[in-house]
Structure 1
Amino acid sequence: MSDATMHGTLATLRRWYDSDLAYSFRRSPAVVVSAVVALTIILAAVFAPLVAPFNPFDPGAVRLMDAFTPPAWAGQGMGAYLLGTDDQGRDLLSTILYGSRISLLVGFSAIVFAAVFGTLLGVLCGYRGGWLDMVVMRAADVQLTIPSILIALMIDGIARTALPRELHNEIAIFVLIFAIGVADWPQFARVARSAALVERNKDYVAAARVIGQPDWVIVLRHVLPNTLGPVLVLATVGLALAVLSEATLSFLGVGVPPTQPSLGTLIRVGQSFLFSGEWWITFFPALTLVLLVLAVNVLGDWLRDALNPKLR
Structure 2
Amino acid sequence: MKKIGLLSLTFLVFNIGFGQIYAPEIQVKNIPNNSVGIGTPNPYYMLDCRFVNTDTKFLTGNSGNWGANGIRIENQTSTLGGMSSLHFRIGTSDTHLATIYRGENLSDLGIFFEGALTHLFKPGLFGLGTANPYYSMHSVFNNSNTSFTGGNNGNYGSNGLRLENKSSVLGSMSALHLRVSDADTHIAAIRQGSNNADLAIFSEGAETVRFKKNGNVGIGKNNPNYKLEVNGVVRANSFSAVAPPWADFVFHDDYQLSKLEEVEDFIKRNKHLPGIPSEAQVKEKGVDLVEMNKLLLQKVEELTLYVIRQNKDLSKQKELIKKLLQTQKTNQ
Q: TM-score normalized by structure 2?
A: 0.20
Q: TM-score normalized by structure 1?
A: 0.21
Give the structure, 1 or 2, with the largest relative contact order (CA under 8 Å, sep 6 or more). 1
The structure with the greater share of residues assigned to helix is 1
**Which of the two has higher C-alpha Rg?**
2
